[in-house]
Structure 1
Amino acid sequence: MSENKTQQEAITLRELLEAGVHFGHQTRRWNPKMRQYIFGVRNGVHIINLEATLPLFQKAYNFVERIAAQGGTILFVGTKKQAQDVIIEEAARAGQFCVVNRWLGGTLTNFATVKASIEKLKRFEEMGRDGTMEKLTKKERLQIDRECKKLEKNLGVIKEMRNLPAAIFLIDPTKERIAVAEARGLGIPIVAVADTNCDPDPIDYIIPGNDDAIRAIRLFAGRIADAVIAGTAQSKDRRENPVMETRPAAAPVDVPAADESQADLDVVFTSGKAVNLKPDGTGRPEGR
C-alpha cells in the first residue's frame, strides 16, 4: 500500500452513505450467505452494514494497487446498463481493458480463440484502410461490415489485450456469473461489488454494497481505478529508479603469506553491483 493511503483511507463512511451503498435488495431476493454483511431491514429492504464494507473495500483497494505495482492488468467488467458508461470511463482513465457488452463465453477460458477473432477484426479494419474493401462486391462488403460491427461491439474494448488479466474487477457477480466462473476456473482473483442477492463464495475480494445505483457504481469503480493508477506509478518509479542491491561486506579471509613481511595482506573485499528489480441516482428506490 502506498504511503499516502496509509495516512488516508481509500474511502470513507460518509462517501458510502452519500452514494447509497447501504441499500440492498428486497428481503425476498436475498442470498442467506450475505447475512454477515447485512445490518438490518427497512421497509422490506435489506440494509448493508457499511462498517463491514469499509475494511473490505480497503483490502480490495490494497490488492488492486499491489497487482498494478507488479505490472499486472485488471480487467474491468460491468455489462448492466447503468454500469457500462462508468466502467468504460474508469477503465480508460486507469489504462485498463473492460467488458461492457455481453460477456462472450470463453473470453478467459478460450482466450486463444478470442485472440483469433480479434485478429480477424483487425484484418477487416485494415481492409477498410488500404482500399481492399472497395475491390469486393457489394454483397461481400455488407457481409464483412455486419461481422465487423458485431466483433467491434463485443471485442473492441479488449482488442489490444494480449494476455490474460492478473485480476478482474466487476459489478454484480450474479449478473456476471459466467465471467466469475471463468476467472475462478483459471485461478484469476476476483474483486466484486456484491449486493444482498449475491453469492460471496466465489469472490476473492468482496465489496458488499449496492450494485445498481449509478452513484455507488461510480464511487467504487473510480476508487479501484485510483488504486490501479497508484500501483502503476509505483511500477514506473521502480523501472526508472532501479534499486541497488546491498550486500554485506565479506568476512576477512586469511591469505597464506609468502613471508612474514606480507602478513598484513590478509583481507579480501568484495563489492556489490546494481540490480534492476523488475516486478514479475444516490440510492436505489426502496422496495425494488
Structure 2
Amino acid sequence: MVGYKQTEVGVIPEDWSDPQLTEIARGDSPICYGIVQVGSNTRNGIPVLAIKNLNSDYATNIHRASADVERPYTRSRIGPGDVLISVKGTTGRIGIVPDGFHGNISRDLARLRLGEGAVPRFCFQMLQSDIAQRRMATAVVGTTRMELSIAILKRVRIPLPPTKAEQEAIAEALSDTDALMESLKQLIAKKRDIKQGAMQELLTGKKRLPGFSGEWEVKRLDVVAEIRSGGTPSTNQPEFWNGDVLWCTPTDITALNGFKYLMQTSRTITTQGLKCSSAELISYADWQFVFVPVAVPAPVSSRK
C-alpha cells in the first residue's frame, strides 16, 4: 500500500512510528507503579488515586495517605497530563490526570509521564483503543487476580504520528466524539426516566389514553399466556451440543442489557439433544420468561 508500512502494531502511515511506551516516557520519570500499602485514610493527607478514580472528577472518594506513607514513593508522584494505566485486578483501564491535580497512585496503577514528542491526550485515546488494549491483554498474567507487569508494559508499542499538531488534532476529534457519546447517554437516561414514568401511569390505568374507558381486569398470567419451562440436554453426551438449535439460558437474557430482542445464544444444541431432553422449541414472537432473581422477559426474534 503506497504511503503506508507494515509494523508490529499493524499498517500505519509511512511517516508514523511505533515506539515502545518506555521510549516516549520522559527520561527522568520512568514508567512505574505506586504505593504498595496506602495505609489508613488521613485527614489533609496526600491524595492517592486508585483504579476506581480513573475518569472520575478526581475530587471525590479519593484516599489520602499520610506524609510518612507517601514519602518513600516520590518516584510515582503524579501531576497534570500524566497518563495512568491500571495494572492489577481490572487491567487496561486508562486515565489522565487533570489540570491542578497533584498526588500519588496506588500499586494498582502505573504512571506514564510523556516526553516532548508525545501528546498526553493522544496517548490517553490511543491506549484505550483496541490496538493497545489487545496488546496489553495478551501480556496479562495471573489466575485469581490479573496483573500487567511494568517490564512488559514498558515494551507495549503504539502508533505515533510524527508531529504534536497531528496528535492534538486526532485527540481533539476523538474527544469531541466522547463528548457527543456522553451527551447521548444522558439524553437516553432522561428518555428512559420519562418512559418509566409513563409506564407507571399507563400500565396501571392511572392515566387513560383518549378514547378508552371502563374498568380494567386482573388476570393470572397463565390465563392469558402459555407458560413453558425449559430443559438441559445431558452435558455428558457431546452429540447433544454445538448444533443448529439455539439454547437459551438466564445468562443470555441478562446479557441483552436492555436490548429488546434475543437474536443469538451463547450455546447451541443438536436436534438429537432437543429430542432427548425436556427442552422445547419456541417460535418467533413467543415470549420466554427465564426465572432469575428478577424475571426478565425477552421476545424471541426470527432467525433468518
Q: Say whether the fold is shared (TM-score over 0.5).
A: no
Could you state the TM-score of these two structures normalised by the residue count of structure 1? 0.29
Which of the pair has the greater relative contact order for Cα pairs under 8 Å at 6+ separation? 1
Could you state the TM-score of these two structures normalised by the residue count of structure 2? 0.28
As a proportion of its length, which structure holds more helix? 1
As a proportion of its length, which structure holds more strand? 2
